[in-house]
Amino acid sequence: MSGVVSGAVSAPLLSVEGVAVELPTPRGRLRAVDKVDLALAPGRTLGIVGESGCGKTMLSRAILQLLPKRARLEGRVMFGGRDLATLDPESLRRLRGPELAVVFQDPMTSLNPVLTIGTQIIETLQAHLGMDATTAFKRGTELLAAVGIPAPGQRMRQYPHQLSGGMRQRVAIAIALSCEPKLLVADEPTTALDVTVQAQILDLLAREQQRRHMAMILITHDLGVVAGRTDEVAVMYAGRIVERAPTPALFARMRMPYTEALLAAIPKLDSAPHTALPAIPGRPPDPTRPLPGCSFAPRCRYADELCGRAKPALEDPDDAGAPYACWHPISGARTSWSASSP
């Protein structure tokens, strides 16, 4: 595991304080993120996990200040002692790259299809580090080699469509790492890739994060991705954090039934052929029609009248550094899954 800090706890590099995001829709205002609090220390890795539509990508865009124009943001996003929500566009532009970088899930939408790979890397290095073209080309070649791209000098002269999906994602990672950022946000970085390439990209991100002592947020729908690759996991549902814990502690003793359901949905290598995967019944709630009680209650097998009436707060009653939002938490470990599982 990367970025483990012993002794005194580092001061947060990133602090998300009461962040909420609302979007206008024809059906009313959609609350995509609902009062989220998070903190991330330098050199640490946080995994944010949840189903599609749970708000994890919108939360990352709030952190990056890349929200849609009509979105309304509440709360504070403190990064290095600065509230990003109060910075002007030019200050944000100078911040992105040298301090804050992102890798999106689809490299074909994050890379410019009409510019060569080299042009895109060189422009980034010149804009943020002031390098001349010759130095930037050399540095770009070194970056491509560092992320495992063969014949990097040749690739610098090629266009994105000439590379495979895995190679394009490696280029996107090289660009994100080019200015040595303090924080990298990786938003579903392996979704469009096949399984073997997924593992390579995740291992590459973990290696570079550790080597550069860089903080990282890894966003995914798959609990298996964060196991062994993160220091802490935050589970999101219906725009809220419903469970947060150090990664080994989460897999050893998860408390939230939704987390249990996510884990049960992961394919097991020792399962018999054609074994049906357990599915979470029902559908996620309509974010334009918030429920009075626990948002997961209509799909939860442990729910009762209290769950439908009152919304549980994210609390840590055991004082174990592992808060959860549930009226009826799971009392013991119900799985043999370990944090070292692939």
| Residue-level pLDDT at 52 | 87
Q: Residues 294-342: pLDDT tens digits?
A: 999 999 989 999 999 999 999 998 888 899 999 999 985 444 333 333 3
Cβ atoms of 50 and 221 within 8 Å: the answer is: yes
Tokens 């080019």 correspond to 178
| Residue-level pLDDT at 9 | 52
| Residue-level pLDDT at 334 | 43
pLDDT above 70: percentage of residues in the chain: 94
| Residue-level pLDDT at 5 | 38
Cβ atoms of 49 and 254 within 8 Å: the answer is: no
| Residue-level pLDDT at 2 | 42
Mean pLDDT of the chain: 88
| Residue-level pLDDT at 53 | 87
Q: Is the pLDDT of residue 158 over 60?
A: yes
Tokens 């966003």 correspond to 219
| Residue-level pLDDT at 278 | 76
Q: What is the mean pLDDT of residues 225-239?
A: 93
Tokens 């994060």 correspond to 209
Cβ atoms of 36 and 78 within 8 Å: the answer is: no
Cα distance between residue 217 and residue 321, in whole Å: 19
- Residue type for 200, please? Q
Which residues touch 63 (CB under 8 Å, ≥6 apart)? 14, 16, 77, 79, 84, 185, 217
| Residue-level pLDDT at 336 | 36
Q: What is the mean pLDDT of residues 3-22?
A: 74
| Residue-level pLDDT at 341 | 34
Domains of the chain as residue ranges with CATH: 42-68+95-99+182-268+277-342 (3.40.50.300), 107-180 (no CATH)
Q: Residues 51-72: pLDDT tens digits?
A: 888 999 999 999 999 999 999 9
Name the more confident of 193 and 223.
Answer: 223
Among candidate residues 323, 336, 264, 266, the one with its CA nearest the CA of residue 299: 264
Q: What is the mean pLDDT of residues 202-223?
A: 91
Q: Residues 167-203: pLDDT tens digits?
A: 999 999 999 999 999 999 999 988 777 888 888 889 9
Cα distance between residue 245 and residue 249, in whole Å: 6
